[in-house]
Structure 1
């Protein structure tokens, strides 16, 4: 058994010489088997071992019994033990996730926390060959592609490793019995109210009895072949991802040209984009990929919601992947106005949304002496054309401006569309008004009505700066 696991570790480069390995231990047979085997191999692998146990608080006294058992086991083995309690049921409701997904997220967040604090380089989890077979069938019934049929990988991100994925559940149980280990038993594993348990207790035994006595290993061999094929296709898809995707902190852009490629490539690029941006490989299904494909064929401005608090938007054929943001009613209120008296405008500064706006007066303007600098965020206006007040606000429905050089007015909505300003950004663009007439759509257009001419005597200089936080 030790040779089999050791060979699997080396063949798959799961653990390197000198690694500090954090073992995820629930207290059940699989994790106790994993902990015991790694403990026996630690000198040969030259590794340090620690244990992480998250009490999900889902099974009443049994959960606290598991916690105590893991602590006592670690004390006997003289290895560090890190324990955390978390009300997963409450957490799942807050995050709007299933208990299974919430528990998984909480566990891996806990592992990351310990790794950063204590310097562990790997996390070892106790998935075995039966888990692999169950996962493949579970994904098959939900609908999946090659990635899903590949099942559980031996390692992920060179951080999460599964050293006993090569062992069947029977081998684990035999190991437990031979070594007189007494793991905790989770009774919920035998309740058929969960789909995965139905696969474990009904479907796989039926397949084994009626179709293939070696079904577990058959599915595991298939997963290895599919993983290799999938890895090759992923390399090809990566080149298209690099060609058509633009990453930034606030959003991903998938260029419209990508949707002219083969659908197999498109699907993988889309999946990679949404999983990378949301930092989650879970909750996304093929239906979400198809929704984005349909979105690419619709008009600009159309939006679809996606899992993990992100959404996709068609902006002139390009697909933007963004996080959903809570509305800030103070900054996005469309009727918010800040008025400044014309007679007291010089050296006045105001804050508006994410901007600082500075007003300066230049008196007795002589166009032969003053060089008016050209800058999208510095503009000059004829102060004498302003009768009463100056105000800054967000856009309103029906807003119009007479753009510089034109005689007729144009709707702000049309200007935003022409200049390809995303819908969600439009409410944050400051609108500078003189006597309730739009003088400047900041950063975009200025008005013909307040331009400087040969007759101008006094100038209003307006400087816009984005605030730093």
Structure 2
């Protein structure tokens, strides 16, 4: 058993010398087996071990007995044990999600906190070969694609590892019995009250009896083969993503040419783009991916909402994905009075609701200043400003005299010409000097306040996109 696990660890590059491995320890057979095996291999692998236990408070006294058992095991092995109690049902109700999802979120939040605070480098989770088979089978019944057939990956995000994914449940139970580990048993796992339990207790035994006695091994082999193909397609999709996607401050633009590539690559490009914006791919289904493809084929200006507060807009064939912005900033204005500024005086403040932080500085004109160094840093003739510097969002009827033009142009028309997404237009700051708009940040500046050879004092305004 130890040889099988260590070979699996080496094959998937799970652990390196010096790693501090945090074991997710529920107290059940799988996690106790995992802890025991890693502990017995700690010298060979040159690693240190700790354990983390979440008490979900779902099973009455049994939950506290599980916690007590986990502490006892860790104490006997002389390893650190981190325990947290969470009212999972209350959390699930508050968030409007299932208890299973609430439990998962609570566990991973706990793991992340321990990794950050205690210096662990890996988190070991006790999924086994039966879990893999059940996952693949359930996804097949839902009509999954190739990625779904991959099932549970041995390594995720270079931190979360599954060293006993190569072991069957029978091997784990035999290991626990042989080593007299006496793990805790969750009786709800023996009841056909959840879909996964029905697959485990009814469907897989039926398949074994009537079709394939090695169904666990067969489904794990399917997952392994699917993983090889999926990894290759993912790599190809990454090249396309790099060529056709533009990441910018919490939003992403997928250029229309990306939608000409093969669908198997395009769906992965879109999924990666969603992940960049939403920082997660949970709650997203293939339906949402294909909704975006259909949107791209439609009219410009159309948009759809997908889970996690994400907005997707068609902008002249390009697809722009952003987080829906909070519109409750009430057209707030940020006003600075000119007389309060002086040369070498720097003002810095945050613009709530406008996507940016800003810094304002007055300096003397110099040939060393690069007036076109950045779209988010601009320079103006300070002496042409009469009284006030105002930063605000757009209003109906706003106009600007663009640099190099004699007449004025509506801000709305400039946004349309520049293909600025509708979802972002109210959150782009306008810099005004008294009653004139001097700068549409990141878009255009006014001819009125431009720096010339006769300019003595310069107002430098720098915006920084908020991550």
Pairwise same-fold verdict (TM > 0.5) = yes
In the superposition, the TM-score normalised over structure 1's length comes to 0.80
Distance in 1 of aligned mates of 2:174 and 2:446: 82
Is 2:117 the counterpart of 1:117?
yes
Q: Who is 1:334 aligned against?
A: 331
Comparing 25-34 with 243-252, greater Cα deviation is found at 243-252
Q: CA deviation at 1:390?
A: 9.4
Kindly indicate whether the alpha-carbon contact (under 8 Å) linking 1:382 and 1:451 is maintained by their aligned counterparts in 2.
no
**1:30-429 equivalent positions in 2, closer than 5 A:** 30-327=30-327, 329=328, 332-334=329-331, 353=351, 377-379=378-380, 393-400=392-399, 410-423=409-422, 424-429=424-429
Distance in 2 of aligned mates of 1:198 and 1:283: 23
Distance 1:460 1:418, change over 3 A: farther
Deviations 1:20-39 (A, max 9, x none): 22211101111111112222
Structure 2 gap segments, 5+ residues each: 352-356, 364-369
Distance in 2 of aligned mates of 1:431 and 1:32: 62
Distance in 2 of aligned mates of 1:352 and 1:78: 49
Q: Who is 2:461 aligned against?
A: 465
Q: Who is 1:456 aligned against?
A: none
Distance in 1 of aligned mates of 2:427 and 2:462: 16
Kindly indicate whether the alpha-carbon contact (under 8 Å) linking 1:144 and 1:285 is maintained by their aligned counterparts in 2.
no
Q: CA deviation at 1:151?
A: 0.9
Distance 1:172 1:464, change over 3 A: same
Distance in 1 of aligned mates of 2:176 and 2:97: 34
Distance 1:442 1:182, change over 3 A: same
Q: Who is 1:21 aligned against?
A: 21
Comparing 203-212 with 310-319, greater Cα deviation is found at 310-319
Kindly indicate whether the alpha-carbon contact (under 8 Å) linking 1:355 and 1:464 is maintained by their aligned counterparts in 2.
no
SS at 1:143's partner residue?
Answer: coil
Q: CA deviation at 1:134?
A: 0.7
Kindly indicate whether the alpha-carbon contact (under 8 Å) linking 1:129 and 1:169 is maintained by their aligned counterparts in 2.
yes
Distance in 2 of aligned mates of 1:94 and 1:228: 40
Distance in 2 of aligned mates of 1:334 and 1:5: 60
Q: CA deviation at 1:218?
A: 0.9
Kindly indicate whether the alpha-carbon contact (under 8 Å) linking 1:56 and 1:87 is maintained by their aligned counterparts in 2.
yes
SS at 2:212's partner residue?
Answer: coil
Q: CA deviation at 1:409?
A: 6.4
Structure 1 gap segments, 5+ residues each: 361-372, 453-458
Distance in 2 of aligned mates of 1:255 and 1:165: 40
Kindly indicate whether the alpha-carbon contact (under 8 Å) linking 2:33 and 2:175 is maintained by their aligned counterparts in 1.
yes
Kindly indicate whether the alpha-carbon contact (under 8 Å) linking 2:415 and 2:425 is maintained by their aligned counterparts in 1.
no
Distance in 2 of aligned mates of 1:405 and 1:467: 23
Distance in 2 of aligned mates of 1:34 and 1:67: 17
Length, aligned pairs only? 446
Q: In angstroms, what is the RMSD of aligned CA positions?
A: 3.9
SS at 1:253's partner residue?
Answer: strand
Comparing 214-223 with 249-258, greater Cα deviation is found at 249-258
Kindly indicate whether the alpha-carbon contact (under 8 Å) linking 1:357 and 1:462 is maintained by their aligned counterparts in 2.
no
Deviations 1:270-312 (A, max 9, x none): 1222234433343221112112212222334333233334333
Distance in 1 of aligned mates of 2:405 and 2:427: 25
Distance in 2 of aligned mates of 1:216 and 1:334: 60
Comparing 125-134 with 277-286, greater Cα deviation is found at 277-286
Deviations 1:434-461 (A, max 9, x none): 6x7x55454556789x799xxxxxx999
Kindly indicate whether the alpha-carbon contact (under 8 Å) linking 2:382 and 2:459 is maintained by their aligned counterparts in 1.
no
Comparing 207-216 with 41-50, greater Cα deviation is found at 41-50
SS at 1:148's partner residue?
Answer: helix
Distance 1:141 1:243, change over 3 A: same
Kindly indicate whether the alpha-carbon contact (under 8 Å) linking 1:88 and 1:102 is maintained by their aligned counterparts in 2.
yes
Comparing 141-150 with 188-197, greater Cα deviation is found at 188-197
Distance in 2 of aligned mates of 1:227 and 1:3: 23
Q: CA deviation at 1:160?
A: 1.7
Q: Who is 1:364 aligned against?
A: none
Comparing 126-135 with 94-103, greater Cα deviation is found at 94-103
Distance in 2 of aligned mates of 1:390 and 1:446: 15
Q: Who is 2:366 aligned against?
A: none
Comparing 194-203 with 7-16, greater Cα deviation is found at 7-16
